[in-house]
Amino acid sequence: MAALNKVMVIGNLGRDPEVRQAGDSMVADFSVAVNEKYKDRNGQQQDRTEWVTVVCWRRLAEIARDYLRKGSTVYVEGKLSTRSWQDKTSGQKRYATEVVAENFQMLGGRPEGGNGQRQSGYEGLNDYYAPPQAPASSGWSNQDDLPF
C-alpha cells in the first residue's frame, strides 16, 4: 500500500529562526502562525490561530537564518515528524510533532525599511533557487513558442 506524508503551510513567522549546530549539520526552527476564519453556530465570525513548528536542516537552515524574520509570510512544504524525549524534571516521556521542511518560499515581498526604502538582504537568493532550464539539445526554449 502506498503512503504519503506531505504538509503545505502558509503563514507568518511568530519569531526569528533559532539556529544551532547538530553534529556536522546546521538546524533552524521557527514557528508559523496559520490563521483560519470561520462562523460559529451563532453566525459570529471567529478567528483561530494554529501554531506550527517548522524545522530546517543544512542549506535550508542557512537560508532561513539569513532571510526569514518574525512577521515574514512564508510557504513551507515538508513532512510531519514526531519526536520524543524524556523530560528531565518530571521523568515523563514528551512528544512534539513538527514539520520538517523540504522547501520553503518567502511570500509578500521584501520587508520595508524605516525610510520607505526596501531593505537589501535578498540578493543571491535567486542563485540558489534558479528556475529549471530545459536542456539545449531538446529544441525547446523558455519562450512563448510552446509546441501546443
Is 30 inside a domain boundary?
Answer: yes
Is 19 inside a domain boundary?
Answer: yes
Predicted confidence at residue 118, as pLDDT, reads 38
Predicted confidence at residue 33, as pLDDT, reads 93
CATH number for position 101: 2.40.50.140
pTM: 0.67
Q: What's the start-to-end Cα distance of the chain, in Å?
A: 37
Q: How many helices (H) and strands (E) does the chain have?
A: 2, 6
Which DSSP string do the residues of 76-103 spell out, in sequence order? EEEEEEEEEEE-TTT--EEEEEEEEEEE
Give the chain's domain count: 1
Is 67 inside a domain boundary?
Answer: yes
Alpha carbon dihedral 25, 120, 127, 132, in 10-degree steps, equals 110
Is 77 inside a domain boundary?
Answer: yes
Predicted confidence at residue 23, as pLDDT, reads 85
Provide the phi-psi class of 124: left if phi over 0, else alpha when psi is between -120 and 50, else beta.
left
Q: How far apart are CA 6 and CA 77, in angstroms?
A: 7
- In which domain, by residue range, is 10 found? 1-38+46-108
Q: How far apart are CA 97 and CA 134, in angstroms?
A: 39
45-57/93-107 β-pairing: parallel
Is 2 inside a domain boundary?
Answer: yes
Predicted confidence at residue 139, as pLDDT, reads 47
Over the chain (148 residues), the average pLDDT of each successive run of 10 is 91 93 90 91 91 93 91 93 89 91 82 42 42 45 49
Predicted confidence at residue 55, as pLDDT, reads 94
